[in-house]
Chains A and B, each alone.
Chain A
Amino acid sequence: MAEATKRPNSLTRNLTAKIASLPMIATALVIFIGCTLWTIYHSFTRSRLLPAPDKWVGLDQYERLWNTRRWLVSIENLAIYGICSLILSLVIGFTLAALLDQKIRGENVFRTIFLYPFALSFIVTGLAWQWILNPQFGIQEVVRRWGLESFTFDPLNNADIAIYGILIAGIWQGSGFIMVIMLAGLRGIDEEIWKAARVDGIPTWKTYVFIIIPMMRPVFVTALVLIASGIIKVYDLVVAQTSGGPGIATEVPAKYVIEKMFLSQNLGQGFAASTMMLLSVLVVLIPWAYLEFGGKRRG
């Protein structure tokens, strides 16, 4: 009995901290969970421009969604853009960071140059790359003027590869930021580890791959979350660069949601699409969270 009173109640422990986080807890519950549930509910209704909770139509909106070519193309594009952007951002970001970490001269200059694109919005990035990739005044024209008359490079006008034109712009904008995060991670590695590796005669690349990268796991997780959230919500880049064209070749899910909600004035369809986006995030997130947090508790 006496022991029980001595043990702090788990509710009142760190009381001030808990009170301080109350606003955020409320925000999470009401805004994130509450609005998500509201959205999911209305995706089963025939809501047009205004929510109509009483016009229940069951799975009609989802049926229409998965019978729409534009939605299927959007999903495919998101997969291509997502996988390529994830891998390339990490590889390029880490490589640049590792190169900058060689104690080179003018590191600040290079870091600034690489990070600079991140200071631009996706709209500016998209427009700049629209011009760079434009066959009449961009790269193609420049190379042709050098004498390579047959040179052709106009990804944005070719429906089969247009999404890669968007990818180039996305990587250009984002990899500098990943580089900075990686660089911070590399700087956090104890100098002694490097000395030990050198004493053992391990080649530099092996040290990176087998020692440094595993030690940088938290940094990689942070980078991964940042990149992934950027992928799911990619919208402005596409709007600025191609408006989804040519045809529907570069449509993405977020654009479908916005346009169905406010252009086609069909909230139900937009909500159904955004619910599918949420579902796809959960499909990735839940196994990862289980491995990340569930595993630790067991260990």
Chain B
Amino acid sequence: MKTIRTLAATTAICAAGAAHAVDLEVTHWWTSGGEAAAVAQFAKAFNEKTEHNWVDGAIAGGGGTARPIMISRILGGDPMDATQLNHGRQAEELIEAGLMLDLTDVAEAEGWKDIVNPSSLLDSCTVDGRIYCAPVNIHSWQWIWLSHKAYEDAGVDVPSNWDEFVASAPALEEAGKIPLAMGQQPWQSSGAFGVMAIAIAGQDAWSAVNIDKNADVAGGPEYAKVFEAAANARAFAAKSNVQDWNQATNLVITGQAGAQIMGDWAQGEFQVAGQVAGEDYTCLPGLGVNEIISTGGDAFYFPKQDDPEVEAAQKELAALLLSPEVQVDFNLAKGSLPIRGDVDLAAANDCMKKGLEILASGAILPDGNQTLSPDTSGQIEDLMVEFWNDPSYSAADAQARYAEIIADAD
């Protein structure tokens, strides 16, 4: 039987070149332990459930390193078959230039409009009524991860919000711990600042700055408090000289550092290390102050290819990424929230359940990537990475520069 099938398949290929296995090159920047485990779920599903092959094109070094490579490849006429990007405006111009595959027919056939929740994720994929990307997960930045071991060693209780954390920092330092772990990549500095802005300045001020681009609010008293808090946090993180975010997470896992402000993708690292939420570590959404999460995340884009067979395979992959089973496997490994509300995440741990509850309650905001252009985000990252690493850069100076950037934002 098998021989016959193989024979038939071979004949088919020879005869007409009818639908045969296509190698799809997929690029992404998921290289840390938890991330690699998650993306392996995609590869496995794609290889098993379709006749095509997943060719992994992981690019190490995080989005900041990977995106220039991806975009220059697409622009340079050597596009991959599918690529990860963040929801939002990163692919805006590529779509407008007609370099991305239109997925509207897949979306209609699969009923994405009804299943994707929150709908803003699909809106981010939509240009002029056509859908160009497949959202795969929701990631929120607004989390602080606390190490129980570090607090035990220092002899203080694990804090339950940002103010308690600030109060506990001296005790941690005395015990030889780094109060706040912080990697030195620009997006980490910028992201942590964003988290503090929502928690400390509040949702209205954050929206005024990030959505309405109001420079007066960016230079105003609410944001002054945020910059003061960031200057404090900078002192807590002074001894943390790691580069990558997962190295910083590792400091928390091993109890060398008290806490890390990082998105929920850190969850995957705790999972790989075999730690249990609530026992080994605590997660506080919105820094324990303001329980709101932003709904950024990752989406797959499919650069246009000439070959209709490749195009068919691309569409198959797009449909597969959003299928319930794949969504569950992938998001459990990654620690992110699924983009459809109708799947069962009973296996999720405490932190993910907290996230799901907040998502269900509707306390959500768009992600910075959805509201700011890559150019503005880049300028903010440049400012933040300098501010976080240079203790002589005063909060007031940084705020003035921040207000300038927001005034020029588009």
Q: List residues of A whose CB falls within 8 A of some B CB.
A: 48-50, 68-70, 135, 157, 159, 239, 243, 245-249, 258-266, 269
Contact: A265 with B71, CB < 8 Å?
yes
B378 touches A260 (CB 8 A): yes
Q: Is the CB of A248 within 8 A of B94?
A: no
Contact partners of B375 in chain A: CB under 8 A: 48, 264-266, 269
Establish whether residues B67 and A263, one from each chain, have CB atoms under 8 Å apart when the complex forms: yes
**CB-defined contacts of A265 to chain B, threshold 8 Å:** 71, 90, 93, 373-375
Which B residues are within 8 Å of any A CB, using their own CB?
61, 64-65, 67-69, 71-72, 75, 90, 92-94, 97, 184-185, 241, 243, 373-375, 377-379, 382, 385-386, 388-390
Contact of B374 among A157, A159, A249, A263 (CB under 8 A): A263
Contacts of B72 on A, CB cut-off 8 Å?
261-262
> Which residues of A have CB within 8 Å of B378?
259-260, 263-264, 266
B380 to chain A, nearest CB (A): 10
Chain B residues with Cβ under 8 A from A135's Cβ? 241
Taking the nearest CB of chain B, how far is it from the CB of A253, in angstroms? Answer: 14
The residue on A at minimum CB distance from B90 is A265
Residue of A70, A239, A247 touching B389 (CB-CB under 8 A):
A247
Contact B386 A50 (CB under 8 A): no
Report B-chain residues with C-beta under 8 Å of the C-beta of A260.
378
Residues of B within 8 A of A69 (CB): 382, 386
* Contact for A263 among B64, B97, B385, B390, CB less than 8 A: B64
Decide: B65 and A239 in contact? CB cutoff 8 A.
yes
User: Complex formed: what's the CA distance from A298 to B356 in Å?
Assistant: 81
Q: How far is the CA of A45 from the CA of B241 in the complex (A)?
A: 40
Minimum C-beta distance from B403 to chain A (A) = 14
Do residues A258 and B243 form an inter-chain contact, with CB atoms below 8 A?
Answer: no
User: Which of the residues B185, B243, B389 comes within 8 Å of A249, measured between beta carbons?
Assistant: B389
Do A264 and B379 touch (CB < 8 A)?
yes
A70-B386, A247-B386, A249-B389 known; A258-B184 Cβ under 8 A: no
B93, A248: Cβ atoms under 8 Å? no
Which residues of A have CB within 8 Å of B377? 264
Minimum CB distance partner of A262 in chain B: B68
Give the distance in Å from the alpha carbon of A260 to the alpha carbon of B379 in the complex.
9
Q: Which residues of A contact B64 (CB under 8 A)?
A: 243, 259, 263
Contacts of A157 in B (CB 8 A): 241
Within the assembled complex, what's the spacing in Å between the Cα atoms of A21 and B188?
A: 52
A49 and B94 form a contact (CB under 8 A): yes
Establish whether residues B382 and A70, one from each chain, have CB atoms under 8 Å apart when the complex forms.
yes
Closest to A49 in B: B93
- State A243–B90 Cα separation when bound (angstroms): 21
Say how far A74's CB is from chain B's closest CB, in angstroms. 11
B71–A248 CB distance below 8 A: no
Distance between Cα atoms of A38 and B201 in the complex (Å)? 45
Q: How far is the CA of A131 from the CA of B223 in the complex (A)?
A: 39
The 9 closest A-B pairs by CB, nearest first: A247-B389, A264-B378, A262-B68, A49-B93, A265-B374, A266-B375, A245-B184, A246-B389, A264-B375
Interface of A is mostly: loop
Question: A248–B68 contact, CB under 8 A?
Answer: no
B386: A residues at CB distance < 8 A: 69-70, 247-248
- Hey, which chain A residues are within 8 Å of B94, CB to CB? 49
Q: With contacts defined as CB atoms under 8 Å apart, how many contacts are there between chain A and chain B in the complex?
A: 79
| Across-interface contacts of B373 in A (CB, < 8 A) | 48, 265
- Distance in angstroms between the alpha carbons of A244 and B198 in the assembled complex: 28
Which residues of the partner chain A approach B385 to less than 8 Å between Cβ atoms?
245, 247-248
Q: A243-B243, A246-B184, A249-B389 are in contact. Are A68 and B93 (CB under 8 A)?
A: no
Are B382 and A159 touching (Cβ within 8 A)?
no
Q: Which residue of the partner chain B has the closest CB to A260?
A: B378
Given A243-B61, A245-B389, A248-B385, 8 other A-B residues pairs in contact with their CB atoms under 8 A: A70-B382, A159-B389, A243-B65, A245-B385, A247-B390, A248-B386, A263-B67, A264-B379
Contact A243 B185 (CB under 8 A): yes
CB of B390 within 8 A of CB of A264, answer: no
- Tell me whether A68 and B382 are in contact (CB under 8 A): yes
Closest to A264 in B: B378
Residues from chain A with a CB closer than 8 A to the CB of B93 are 48-50, 265
Contacts of A269 in B (CB 8 A): 375
| Measured CA separation A263–B72 after assembly (Å) | 10
Q: Identify the closest chain B residue to A71 (Cβ).
A: B382
| Inter-subunit contact B388/A247 (CB<8 Å) | yes
10 contacts between A and B (CB under 8 A): A49-B75, A245-B243, A245-B385, A246-B184, A246-B241, A247-B184, A248-B386, A248-B389, A263-B67, A263-B374
Give the shortest distance, in Å, between B153 (CB) and chain A (any CB): 20
A55 to B: closest C-beta gap in Å: 12
In the assembled complex, the Cα of A247 lies from the Cα of B241 at a distance in Å of 11
Q: Which residues of A contact B243 (CB under 8 A)?
A: 243, 245
In the assembled complex, the Cα of A189 lies from the Cα of B101 at a distance in Å of 65
Q: Which of A49, A69, A243 has the most CB of B within 10 A?
A: A49
Of chain B, the residue at the smallest CB distance from A130 is B243
How far, in angstroms, from A258 to B72 measured CA to CA in the complex?
Answer: 10
* Contact across chains for A159 and B241 when beta carbons are under 8 A apart: no
List the A side residues contacting B61 at CB < 8 Å: 243
Which of A159, A243, A247, A258 sits near B68, CB closer than 8 Å? A258
Beta-carbon nearest neighbor of B63 in chain A: A263
Cα A239 to Cα B66 in complex, Å, equals 12
A39 to B131, alpha carbons, bound, how many Å?
33
CB proximity of B192 to chain A, nearest CB, Å: 14
Residues of chain A contacted by B379 (CB below 8 angstroms)? 264
Instruction: Name the A residues within 8 Å of B65 (CB-CB).
Output: 239, 243
Q: How far is the CA of A50 from the CA of B69 in the complex (A)?
A: 15
Min Cβ gap A132→B in Å is: 15
Nearest-CB distance from A143 to chain B (Å)? 18
B388 touches A264 (CB 8 A): no
Which residues of B have CB within 8 Å of A246? 184, 241, 389
